[in-house]
Every structure is written in C-alpha cells, then in structure tokens.
Amino acid sequence: ETGVTQTPRHLVMGMTNKKSLKCEQHLGHNAMYWYKQSAKKPLELMFVYNFKEQTENNSVPSRFSPECPNSSHLFLHLHTLQPEDSALYLCASSQVMASYNEQFFGPGTRLTVL
Amino acid sequence: EDQVTQSPEALRLQEGESSSLNCSYTVSGLRGLFWYRQDPGKGPEFLFTLYSAGEEKEKERLKATLTKKESFLHITAPKPEDSATYLCAVFAGGSYIPTFGRGTSLIVHP
C-alpha cells in the first residue's frame, strides 16, 4: 500500500447504527486530519492529530469520535448520525502540523445516513 | 464570509482551448497557497505549492502563478483527461490549518 488509504470506501448506515471509518498513511507523516466534504461547500476540517495528540476539534458534534492510536492510523467512530451527516469523509496527512506543507488525501469514504 | 474564493464555479472548454482558473484570497500574512485536483469520488490530489508573490510552478499543461491577492491556474491546450474539480487552499497568519475554496469544476470536451 502507498499513500493514504481509507476503508470502507462506501458506507450506508441507519441513524441508530454504530460504525467506524479507518485511515492509514504510509508516508511517514506525523499529522493526520479528518475532513467532511459536502456538495457545493468547501472542505470542512473536523479533527487534527499531531504526533498522536488531538490539536484541533472544529466544533464537531459528539456523535463523531476520533481516535489516533499511532501516527499512521486514524479512526472516526460514528454513532446516532443524522441524515445531514451524509457526505464524503476524507482523511489526510502531512509531515507535521506546525508547518506549511501540503496535505496528502485518501480516496474518502462516501457515507449515506438513512 | 469566504476568505478564499474560486472562480468560475464551473468551466466548460473544448479540447485545445486554453483558459485560466482563479483563486482570490482576503487573508493577511499568506504562508502558502496550494492547488489540488479532485476527480469524482476520489480524494484531492496535490498539484502545486506557491509561497511568495511572483512565484510560478509548472506541470505538463498546468501552470500556477501567485500575486499578492490571487493565484491563477493556467491550463494550456487542455485534454478531456484534465476534466476534474480544481481546489485552492491557503495557509495564513499563524494558523497551521488551511482554508479551502469551493473549487472550480472543469469539463473539457473532445
């Protein structure tokens, strides 16, 4: 595997389900990010981890819970979601957070909440 | 209010018809401007980084330029495979979090 990988690529869940999104980066980076991408909107930053420590939580509802066990892996745990949470969820990584470096993105998870 | 504005929102070109996409920003203390390409159903793919006014970067048919207020992505003699959404993002001030624009959807017809 190379770059940033995400699983699953597609997910359909009911409002009462619990599911998790997984991200893995193979670039040796130390910062990882979760973004939400909705139609006609700019990318919305959700969470940032730098060296496994959460440094940003962009006022995200508690029904989204991130986890970063090490610098290569990032999870987004989902529970009791709403239909408006349907979107493309993107994971990204960069060398470190305290720099102005480009971010590398995974392919995303297309989430549909019924 | 958007600090990063991309225009046009959508652009249709004929193959070989050169054009430019615009990314204007109203931030203080620009630290870096990034261009990404995003194909449908995929994540953004990094294209260029520009750090200072006057800087230019090129890759195949794409050329990115930067001024103190905006950046242009010039597409020379585009091909249908250049069809994608092009995103612009900026780092500004003391923030290490980039601000993204809404993107320009480019369609190149054969």
Identify each DSSP E strand in A1-114 by its residue range. 4-7, 10-13, 18-25, 31-37, 44-50, 53-57, 64-70, 73-79, 87-94, 104-105, 109-113
Given phi > 0 = left and psi -120 to 50 = alpha, else beta, which region is A94? beta
At A1 the pLDDT is 65
Classified as helix, coil or strand, A9 is coil
- Give the model's confidence band at B1: pLDDT under 50 very low, under 70 low, under 90 confident, else very high: low
pLDDT digits (tens, 9 = 90+) for A50-108: 998 888 888 899 999 999 999 999 999 999 999 999 999 999 999 987 778 899 999 99
More confident residue, A107 or B96: A107
The nearest alpha carbon in chain A to B40 belongs to: A107
At B29 the pLDDT is 87
Given phi > 0 = left and psi -120 to 50 = alpha, else beta, which region is A108? left
Interface test with B, best of A59, A102, A111 (most B CBs within 10 A): A102
pLDDT digits (tens, 9 = 90+) for B59-95: 999 999 999 999 999 999 999 999 999 999 999 888 8
- Give the model's confidence band at A2: pLDDT under 50 very low, under 70 low, under 90 confident, else very high: confident
Q: What are the tokens at B63? A: 């050329």
Q: Which residues, listed in sequence order, are joined to residue B91 by a DSSP beta bridge?
A: B32
pLDDT digits (tens, 9 = 90+) for B12-57: 999 999 999 999 999 888 899 999 999 998 999 999 999 999 999 9
Least CB-CB distance to A102: which of B31, B34, B99?
B34
**How many CB pairs (< 8 A) connect A and B?**
51
pLDDT digits (tens, 9 = 90+) for A14-61: 888 899 999 999 999 999 999 999 988 899 999 999 998 888 888 899
